[in-house]
Structure 1
């Protein structure tokens, strides 16, 4: 094995590895190291599990299945466990984390995988000093694997800075980051112009003497903030997904909460303008939205829906809250009649929003098109990116519908 590389202050150890399912990949040659260097390398080696190629996806063909268990050389000739201080800092943090997570068993199915240390945070960084080094599906923790995406994964980096710097080179998550980052920029721009320009113009469109109320601004900005929160949480998750297991799952939880906030925030304007002249119904539905939002977030946090063991509960929660949100839409349409509902709650815009969300969700759920072209969409045009595009389109369409409903709410009575 290779000896320690560079000066002692560099504190890097360079090692080689051979992929072998039955024997440890990593061994250490301490003969050429000084006493202090031997000490930290030996300590680090105790924290590093034997790395085996663990493949968690079902291969599409017998040939691929045979290749997945072959004793082929590791595609990276050099792996580096670098920056000793950061390494041991992560170990100390992971020990504290273990005390918090061991009680409820969160993420326990990943704590014993060959790619994770006992303390639930991997202490191995492959080519960490080469930020643009990309990994194959065989070289990353199981929790980072996306179905039918074989290559272009970022390595674990344990650095928020390195995670953010990954915005500036191509990898499998770049499209996911950019699609929602662009959406966040769009809605941030809308937040700046909606108050001074859009709302007053919409109110005067059908009634030149009308003025927007404080409630109008609150309702419109509630929706905009819900969209911004959802998009920001998504960007944060896809950026920090390669930081560590701890940040991966906690940012994933924030991503789920962002989805819940977007669902609830999307139906608030519909409930408000649908029952603007029925105070009892209005208060009832607004209370319901707040209640289901709080319950949804509480369930997500308490039950750890980001945990893969509880993955089956995610669609149940999302569909349940979405179904509850559709109740005031249907109620308003029945009370007002189809013709009035088209204008009063921008019914066709609501339907269009729902269809876009459903279409994006179906594409994501069935992993289209990468399911039929595995390895061909590792970087661009895979289902998660397409889903993100549909989310931004649906949110933008609904924004137009909310502004239109605002305009009709202040229209001159005929």
Structure 2
């Protein structure tokens, strides 16, 4: 192998070594010839070989890429530096913008959450403060509207119940009663007012004592009076029904006059409806016992009148369902209804007198005066009720004692007691004397 062939082989070997083992950008500068070192020797023969081959060192070693591009020069470096700077600037700007947007979003979210929490806390605090203030004010108004006996020690030196202009409209049914009202009371204080002086005290206690009276009479009649008279099972039933109706009438009246001052007008109206229902039940008790013993010897007419009376009382109950029944506009109509139901008793009374042979009959002379007295007491009580006498002539002076409604209550108890005694009397008469021997179709 000649020297020329050896040099070419060595050049080719160095070229392969340079291509696979020397990293880009090392050993030489931009304008220098490529220097290759191996075992301490310097080879300059590659330059001549590259010139003959027709390719540059960069093309042979792959510095220009697969397509043979040359190494970057100053312009490339400058462009790269400018690109790097532009990229850095663009990245910084984009990062700043993205960071600002993310920060704004996070800040808005955190602010919203903090604002909601703070608003909730502030609202709760303000609501509590306002509620406390409103409750204190309402409590003061309610305390001032109560009668003096129901107030606390702080009000011990205060003047009596509130003036009439602050009393609820539904309690102002009597313009001549100007003082002694209870108003806006809860149920507990309504019950407590049973033991204080007001313009309802006599109304409440008159019928509460009336209930105790009829309850005691019921026990006495069932254990002593009826057994001693040889009463039948029917007598026990009639006596029990009569006294039970009287007791219900008394309790309904007590309930209304005790709770009419309730702070809820709806509750007061319900008790008023119950009071009217109690009056109807009391009238029913009078009719049941009166018709039973008046027609004791005539079963047909006894059933006719009992059914008729029951139908009338049921009609009154259904009338109470009407929305306007308890209004002031229906006050006159309510009075007419109860007067009609009570006055109906005159019809069976006249029929009873005629069936028994007229006014001269012994049973008529025994029992008719009692019926007349009962109707007289009822008529006087009703006149007091509708005329509002005597307070009409003494306005503001009979607030606690002596008003027309109190007289009405007392007369109602007297009337029912009189009727009870009359029933006991005629019951004993029926068992002591047999029915007369007559038959009539009337």
TM-score range, shorter chain: 0.5 to 0.7
Match of 2:251 in 1: 232
Hey, what's the Cα distance between the residues in 2 that align with 1:364 and 1:149? 14
1:203-222 superposed Cα distances (whole Å, 9 cap, x missing partner): 2xxxxxxx211111111222
Match of 1:166 in 2: 193
1:49-88 correspondence runs (5 A)? 80-82=137-139
Match of 1:189 in 2: 216
Hey, what's the Cα distance between the residues in 2 that align with 1:269 and 1:248? 32
Match of 1:103 in 2: none
Corresponding residue SS for 1:170: coil
Aligned residues: 299
Is 2:175 the partner of 1:147?
Answer: yes
Could you tell me which runs of 5 or more consecutive residues in structure 2 were left unpaired when the two chains were aligned: 1-123, 152-159, 437-442
Match of 1:360 in 2: 381
Hey, what's the Cα distance between the residues in 2 that align with 1:156 and 1:218? 43
**Residue 181 of structure 1 contacts residue 235 of structure 1 at CA under 8 Å; is this kept in 2?**
yes
Deviates more, 1:169-178 or 1:136-145: 136-145
Is 2:410 the partner of 1:396?
Answer: no
CA shift, 1:331, in A, is: 0.9
CA shift, 1:230, in A, is: 0.9
**Residue 164 of structure 1 contacts residue 239 of structure 1 at CA under 8 Å; is this kept in 2?**
yes
TM-score, normalised via structure 2 length: 0.63
Hey, what's the Cα distance between the residues in 2 that align with 1:261 and 1:399? 15
Corresponding residue SS for 1:82: helix
1:310-356 superposed Cα distances (whole Å, 9 cap, x missing partner): 22210121022112222211211121122447469822222111111
Hey, what's the Cα distance between the residues in 1 that align with 2:420 and 2:371? 10
Match of 2:163 in 1: 136
1:141-290 correspondence runs (5 A)? 141-145=168-172, 146-157=174-185, 159-201=186-228, 203=229, 211-243=230-262, 244-290=264-310
Hey, what's the Cα distance between the residues in 2 that align with 1:409 and 1:344? 14
Match of 1:370 in 2: 391
**Residue 144 of structure 2 contacts residue 161 of structure 2 at CA under 8 Å; is this kept in 1?**
no
Hey, what's the Cα distance between the residues in 1 that align with 2:328 and 2:345? 26
Match of 1:35 in 2: 126
The structure that has the greater radius of gyration is 2
Hey, what's the Cα distance between the residues in 1 that align with 2:331 and 2:202? 24
The 1:224/1:345 distance shift into structure 2, 3 A limit, reads farther
The 1:239/1:80 distance shift into structure 2, 3 A limit, reads farther
Match of 2:40 in 1: none
CA shift, 1:303, in A, is: 4.9
1:273-309 superposed Cα distances (whole Å, 9 cap, x missing partner): 1111111111111111211111111112235522222
**Residue 264 of structure 1 contacts residue 325 of structure 1 at CA under 8 Å; is this kept in 2?**
no
Corresponding residue SS for 2:257: helix
Hey, what's the Cα distance between the residues in 2 that align with 1:403 and 1:343? 16
CA RMSD of aligned residues (A): 2.4
The 1:36/1:171 distance shift into structure 2, 3 A limit, reads same
TM-score, normalised via structure 1 length: 0.67
Q: Which has the higher contact order (CA 8 A, sep 6+)?
A: 1
The 1:340/1:147 distance shift into structure 2, 3 A limit, reads farther
Hey, what's the Cα distance between the residues in 1 that align with 2:428 and 2:268? 43
1:222-260 superposed Cα distances (whole Å, 9 cap, x missing partner): 211111111111000000010121111110111111111
Hey, what's the Cα distance between the residues in 2 that align with 1:197 and 1:136? 52
